[in-house]
Amino acid sequence: MEIFAQQIFNGLTVGSVYSLVALGLTLVYGILHIPNFAHGALYMMGGYITLTMMTKFGLYYWIAIMISMVIVGLMGVLMERLIFYPLRDAPPIQDKIAAIGILLFLEAFAQFVWGADYQTMPTPYGQVVSVMGLTFTMQRLLIIISTVVVMILLFLFLKKTFIGSAIIAMSQNREGAHLVGINTNKMAMLTFMISGALAAIAASLSSPINLVFPGMGHLVILKAFVIIIIGGMGSIPGAIIGGYILGFAESLGATYISNDYKDIFAFILLVLILTFKPTGLFAKGGHS
């Protein structure tokens, strides 16, 4: 039972990170209908920038995260302007390939600047806590809590502000949004900004318990794709719930089935889903 509870807790931690990454991916998909294959590279950059801010400039953890969010967010905006905007009317195969190009560049860039080694990120929350027979580091608790806070802030932004509801309107109907006078260009840029910032905070939160290295985004982005297909491409609640489901499935699967193959569960799940529902669960009608 204790093992089980521990795994549930671990699943919650892992799931939080997945949800944050998937949220960024699904927001972009909702607005522009492109799967951003370079999102994992943004995640990786987020990890490195936070790390650099802390080690090179001696900044406090939270300040480093803030800076990282802004920088990665701007990188997202730059990507939208330089790549996805010019390709908005191109055949769908092209934006995917363009994103892959960016992904390759950013990874090589990270390796060039920071080296290929695995690096650890220091955290002010390293202490081990024990509650009701569960042992965990503060960092894990922090991941769970921060994720919830970020989600609430995002929710308030999307529901309560004019800009936020414009983003929602646009993801439901782009032409319609344009007609009612929403500046769709600005919204697309803003969405990329948020998406990048979410990737950065996800990476910064998870790095102290994982590691920072150029390929750290690979698995995360693949799983985020799985999540948004499970949760419905473009769906915000879907990304959150899907992230936690995958987190639980993985940590329980690792304990009770096989630790070696824990990374495979997500992909088998996806393959199964797409096998029976080729347009994903909760597909929105009309759009492919």
Partner 1 sequence: MTARFKHKAVVLSIVLLALLLPFIIQNDYFFHIMTLSFIWMIGVYGLNLIAGYTGYLSLAHAGFFAIGAYSLGILTVKFEIHYWLAFFLACAITCIIGLVIGLVALQTKEHFFAIYTLCVGYIIYLVIDKWESLTGGVRGLIGIPVPPDLGPISFRSPVSQYYFNLFFLLAAIFMMYRIVHSLTGRTLIAIRNSEELAQTIGISTMKNKLVSFVLSTFFAALSGILYASFIRFIGPDISYITMTFDFLIFLLVGGIGTLSGPIVGTLLIVWISQQLQFLQDYRMLIFGPLLTLLIIFYPKGIVGGIFSWKMKMQEKKKRLSMSAKSATQRAEEG
User: CB of 198 within 8 A of CB of 36?
Assistant: no
CA torsion, points 283, 87, 196, 177, in degrees to nearest 10? Answer: -60
Taking contact as CB under 8 A, which single stretch among the options 59-67, 89-97, 180-188, 235-243 is the one that binds partner 1? 89-97
The whole-angstrom separation of Cα 203 and Cα 213 is: 11
Nearest partner of 254 among 244, 264, 245, judged by Cα: 264
**Is position 263 an interface residue for partner 1 (rule: CB under 8 A)?**
yes
Q: State which of residues 5, 90, 128, 152 lies at the interface with partner 1 (CB under 8 A).
A: 90
We find the least distance from the C-beta atom of residue 44 to partner 1, in angstroms, to be 13
User: CB of 26 within 8 A of CB of 234?
Assistant: yes
Question: 23 or 142: whose CB is closer to partner 1?
Answer: 23
Q: Which amino acid, 51?
A: L
Q: Dihedrals φ, ψ of 212, to 5°?
A: -105, 120
Q: In the structure encoding, which two tokens stand for residue 197, read together?
A: 């910032």
Question: 83 or 121: whose CB is closer to partner 1?
Answer: 83
**Is position 129 an interface residue for partner 1 (rule: CB under 8 A)?**
no
We find the least distance from the C-beta atom of residue 272 to partner 1, in angstroms, to be 10
Q: Dihedrals φ, ψ of 227, to 5°?
A: -60, -45
We find the least distance from the C-beta atom of residue 168 to partner 1, in angstroms, to be 21
Site of tokens 């009608």: 285
Question: 205 or 216: whose CB is closer to partner 1?
Answer: 216
User: CB of 54 within 8 A of CB of 211?
Assistant: no
What is the helix (H) or strand (E) element at residue 130, kind and residue range? strand 128-131
Question: 101 or 176: whose CB is closer to partner 1?
Answer: 101
**Is position 288 an interface residue for partner 1 (rule: CB under 8 A)?**
yes
Q: In the structure encoding, which two tokens stand for residue 227, read together?
A: 């999540």
x/- contact string, 23-62, with partner 1 (CB under 8 A)?
-----------xx---------------------------
We find the least distance from the C-beta atom of residue 134 to partner 1, in angstroms, to be 30
Question: 96 or 178: whose CB is closer to partner 1?
Answer: 96
**Is position 142 an interface residue for partner 1 (rule: CB under 8 A)?**
no
Residue 136: strand pairing partners: 129
We find the least distance from the C-beta atom of residue 64 to partner 1, in angstroms, to be 25
User: DSSP for 17-50?
Assistant: HHHHHHHHHHHHHHHH----TTHHHHHHHHHHHH
CA torsion, points 82, 164, 68, 151, in degrees to nearest 10? Answer: -140
Taking contact as CB under 8 A, which single stretch among the options 9-17, 105-113, 185-193, 241-249 is the one that binds partner 1? 105-113
Question: 42 or 66: whose CB is closer to partner 1?
Answer: 42
**Is position 98 an interface residue for partner 1 (rule: CB under 8 A)?**
yes
Kindly identify the residues of this chain, within the stretch 179-238, that bind partner 1 according to CB under 8 A.
218, 222, 225-226, 229, 233
> What's the alpha-carbon Rg for the chain, to the nearest Å?
19
Binding site for partner 1 (CB under 8 A): 34-35, 83, 86-87, 90-94, 96-98, 100-109, 111-112, 116, 218, 222, 225-226, 229, 233, 260-261, 263-264, 266-268, 270-271, 274-275, 278-280, 288
